Amino acid sequence: MKSVLFQSVLLLCCITASPKIQAQFPVVATSPEPVSRLSTLSSGHKFISAWNSLSGTRTIYNPDFSVHRVLNFPPLPNPFGAEVRMSNITEELFDTDPSTIEFAIGSVSDPSVGVRVFREDGTEIFNQTPGLGMFGDGGVYENNGVAYMLLYESQVDGPYKVYQLPGHLPCIDCHGTPAGMVVMNGDDASGGLTIFPNPTANEVTVQVPGRFAQKDATLLLMSSDGKVVRQYMLNGKSAFTFSVKGLAGGVYQCILVVDNLRTSGKLVIGSR
């Protein structure tokens, strides 16, 4: 009993005498305002100030919170309560000049808002207003080295319009796919869609990844020339089966879109 008591006292003394651990990580930068991480610039990871469509400006900060660039755009009211947002902020997508930053502004919920693309000085270089909606960062993709932007008149019924862009997607995450965008050369770098049977000449099933399940996802079937030939609303399904009858044999892309997220996979339709 004395031995056990002695050991308990010794342990208590050791705990009491242990030095208090101090923080080992120094603070090297403090943001001047609320920011979020921006990972779609070829120049590397940055931070960007909070989005306000009425402000007319948005500041991009370096990792030490020195100012990198200031994005200018006309103040944009939110008509009919639509969610207007900025996306696809990058240097060499909407043109081929790496010295300037371009970005798109539009709504993912109301196509009546339209879609506009600006340079950082506020110069407008693309305008499809009103009548087209956007998928945000997820609506821009690359197929066989060519960049495209997917817009829609109705997210449920379409039609979908594909615009070929002059530039290319940035690649800064070392896996061939920048955050929020997809490079579609077969399956994307995040693993892509599970599609079976593949090849097929009749029906095909697309397995919905976990991060897309239980959400209102849109499934697009795109031909090799960039045309959307089929579109389906999945309404929270974990798997979706459809017929490929009436489609010519060849290689297609199945594209699954939810808000700003997208993933894809290759589908081969065989001859009958």
Residues 55-108 pLDDT 10s: 899 999 999 999 999 999 988 766 545 577 888 899 989 998 889 999 998 876
Residues 46 and 170 both lie in one domain: yes
Q: Is residue 3 part of a domain?
A: no
Q: How many domains does the chain have?
A: 2
45 plus 166 within the same structural domain: yes
Structure confidence at residue 98 (pLDDT): 87
Q: What is the pLDDT of residue 238?
A: 84
Does 16 reside within a domain?
no
For residues 169 and 196, membership in a common domain is answered with no
Segment 140-162 shows an average pLDDT of 77
Starting at the earlier edge strand, list the strands of the sheet with 35-38. 35-38, 46-49, 57-61, 67-72
Q: Identify whether residues 61 and 191 lie together within a single domain.
A: no
Structural domain containing residue 146: 28-183
Q: Who has greater pLDDT, 233 or 166?
A: 166
Asked which of 137, 154, 183 is the last residue of a domain, the reply is: 183
Same domain, 249 and 156: no
- Give the pLDDT mean for 109-125: 87
Pick from 158, 183, 208: which residue ends a domain? 183
Could you tell me which residue, 212 or 266, shows the higher pLDDT?
A: 266
CA pair distance 46, 102, nearest whole angstrom: 15
Residue labelled with tokens 């242990």:
18
CA dihedral 39, 51, 146, 202 (to 10 degrees): 100
Whether 19 is covered by a domain: the verdict is no
Residue 177 lies in a domain: yes
What 125-130 contacts at long range (C-beta under 8 Å, 24+ apart), as own/partner pairs, is 125/94, 125/95, 126/94
Report the C-alpha gap between 259 and 137 in whole angstroms: 9
Here the CATH number for the domain that contains residue 270 is 2.60.40.1930
Rounded CA separation 269/15 (Å): 69
